[in-house]
Amino acid sequence: MLRPFFSAVLALILISFFNSANPEDKATGVSPSPAVTTEAPAPMPPAAAQPEKPVEIPPVEVKPEEEGAEALLDDSLPVGAVTQGTWEWDTSLKYSGEKSHTQPEAKGLTEYSYRAAPVDAPEDCLLEQYVYLDPKKVPAGIMLRFTFEADGKESDIGVYREGEEEVFVFNDDEPVIYDGTLPEAGKWEKWTIDPNDLGLKGAKITGISFIVYGGKANWDLTRFVPSKKPNN
C-alpha cells in the first residue's frame, strides 16, 4: 500500500524540480510575444526646388535725342576754354551725362564763366538750359549771360529769373532780359530761351556766365535744339 504513495511523492518532487529549473516556462498556454521594433519613418524626398520668379525691372524710358540738337556744354568744358570763378563738378546730381556743375554757396551774387572758340548759333533754334535749385537753399535769382560776336564786335547779354524779391540791379544801358519767375526747386527744370530775343541770330557764341544770387543752383546740359515754330 506504501508503493503507490511513494510514487506520487516522487512525481511531485520531479514536477517541483522542473518548475524551479525553468521559471519562465509557466503553463500559461500563451507563447511569449515577439520583440517589437520601432523603425524610423523613411525620409521624405526633398520637394523639387521651385524656380525663382525673375524680378521684373521696369524699362527705363529713354528719351531720343532731338534731331539736329547741338550741345554747348555737357560734362566738360570746350577744348581750350578759359575759365573765371570757381567751377565745381558734381557727380551726385546730374540731368545729362555723368555730372553737373555748380559753385560754392554764397549770400550775395556769385558768378563763374568760360570763354572758348566761337560757336555759331544755328538758325531757327531754341536754347535749352537745365538747372536744379537746391530746395533747402533756394536762390533769390539766377542768370545766364552770353558773350558773342556779331557784326565784327564782341558783346554780351543776360537773361534772368527772380523770386518775389527783385535782387538784380542793372544799369540803364545794361543789356538784360527778364524771363519770368524762378523754376521749381528740388527738380531738374528746362529753361528754354529764344536766341532771337537776345539778338543772337547769326551770332557766334564765345562764352557763358552762370550767375546765382544767394542759395545754390546746379547747372547741366546747355544746348541748341531745332525750333518747332514756323519760319517767319
pLDDT digits (tens, 9 = 90+) for 9-32: 455 554 554 555 444 444 444 444
Which domains does the chain carry? 70-226 (2.60.120.260)
Q: Give the number of other Cβ atoms within 10 Å of residue 176's Cβ.
A: 16
pTM exceeds cut of 0.75: no
Distance CA 189, CA 112 (A): 20
| Among 210, 191, 221, 198, CA closest to 69 | 221
pLDDT digits (tens, 9 = 90+) for 64-112: 456 788 999 999 999 999 999 999 999 999 999 999 999 998 889 999 9
